[in-house]
Structure 1
Amino acid sequence: MQISDILSPQAVKTLIGCSSKKRLFQDIGDLTEAALGIPSARAVEALVERESLGPTGVGHGVALPHARLAEIDRVQGVFLRLEKPVDFGSVDRKPVDLVFALFAPEDAGVEHLKALAVVSRTLKDQAMRTKLRANNEAVTLHAVLTEDQANQAA
């Protein structure tokens, strides 16, 4: 599985005025509805429910919120780069500015775990995070996220 399998160019955005984790989840929901056709309220509800089990801020300014939804048939994601980092309750207590939200079918099992692993591995890379933080354009962010994997596979 590669990021290009779960992230479309329409599902990438830079947020300028996000001020809180609650607002961030609403922005994720709005992008999810626009790009993936998943109702915003349903996406937000599922993310908040999952987040109540423990924060998905993984450190280094990265968050990987994720949820399972009965309404979808394959793993899909959205990526947001925040102009101003927000507190996310991350393990390293640092605010988050790179957010990759994943949505999986309720019965996805191993596919959901594979998607989390590939996204986590990609965003753990310091050079990748630096490239993402240096760009604001959605098309460039998508290219950075997907080209790096294409080069590794070659």
Structure 2
Amino acid sequence: MDLSTIILPEHVFVGLSAPTKWRALQLLSSKAAHCLGLDESLVLRALEAREKLGTTGIGNGIAVPHAAIIGMTRPRGLMVRFSHPVDFEAIDDVPTDLAFVLLFAENGRSEYLNVLAAIARRLRMEGVLTAMRQAKSADELYSVFMTDSIC
């Protein structure tokens, strides 16, 4: 799966700040709405509803807030590195510094799972998480994440 068609370079943000998970979801909704041409309140309601079902903090400082959005035709995403970790109530209790927002069509849940699996594979590559956390800019963060190997 080509993640570069789902997360574009201009949809990567470094240094965002939010004091709580709920404020982070508001911030992420605003960014997603602006980047993807969606209604911010619709995105926020969908992300909050999903989060209420259970945390999207998957551990190791990573969260993947995601939701089906009416009108979406294919999965799209954002990548964010927070300036200070946010408590996403992750399964390992490690605060989140990296978030991937994934939005997809209501009938595209299986496609979303493929995207999530591709992100997980990339994050498991040796050195990727460390390099992502050390990236100095959004461009560098994107480049590190999209590169097939880290030296």
TM over 0.5: yes
Residue identity (%): 33
Instruction: Give every structure 1 segment of 4 or more consecutive aligned residues whose post-TM-superposition deviation is greater than 4 Å.
Output: none
Instruction: Identify, as 1 or 2, the structure richer in helix.
Output: 1
Residues 32 and 39 of structure 1 are in contact (CA less than 8 Å); yes or no, is this contact kept in structure 2? no
Over 3 Å counting, the alpha-carbon distance change for 1:126 and 1:97 in structure 2 is farther
Gaps of 5+ in 1: none
Deviation for aligned residue 1:99: 0.2
Match of 2:10 in 1: 10
CA distance in 1, matches of 2:89, 2:123: 18
Deviations 1:91-145 (A, max 9, x none): 0011000000100100013211101111122223451111111013111111112
Aligned residue pairs total: 150
Match of 2:60 in 1: 60
| Structure 1, 97-106 or 118-127: larger mean CA deviation | 118-127
Residues 62 and 123 of structure 1 are in contact (CA less than 8 Å); yes or no, is this contact kept in structure 2? no
Match of 2:87 in 1: 87
CA distance in 2, matches of 1:96, 1:52: 17
CA distance in 1, matches of 2:31, 2:136: 16
How big is the alpha-carbon RMSD for the aligned residues of Structure 1 and Structure 2?
1.6
Is 1:113 aligned with 2:126? no
Residues 74 and 105 of structure 1 are in contact (CA less than 8 Å); yes or no, is this contact kept in structure 2? yes
Over 3 Å counting, the alpha-carbon distance change for 1:138 and 1:91 in structure 2 is same
Give the match's secondary structure for 2:85: strand
TM-score scaled by length of structure 2 = 0.92
Deviations 1:31-87 (A, max 9, x none): 102211122211111111011111011111000111001121100001100110011
